[in-house]
Structure 1
């Protein structure tokens, strides 16, 4: 991570464990880097859908994406 200011958030242990298992197959060195990237991707997609005025946020799609990333229980 670069020199950006950071803030801590709590994640379920099962999510952290899943990220730790994936780290060796990614370019990320830490759980924090991976989670920050994943959240930026999700936010980018949600914001892109709402900013262009073409489609409203499909809550079911966002929920499915968060589930696939391990942030919500399936």
Structure 2
């Protein structure tokens, strides 16, 4: 975010925000060209157990944060 702030100091902020949004859309387009996939019938269904349904939202959020931290540690070690 410090880089975005620096860019906003150099040029008009509305151009920076527009560039960020366009960059996100172009990333999705490039990713879909590089890594296309087709779902077959029934692959888009999510099957959950009763244990997962009863978890509190904060507990689930904590697990996601820990998973992200583990990925960041593995990436930093490479």
TM-score (norm 2): 0.33
Higher relative contact order (CA 8 A, sep 6+): 1
TM-score of the superposed pair, with normalisation by structure 1: 0.35
- More helix, by proportion: 2
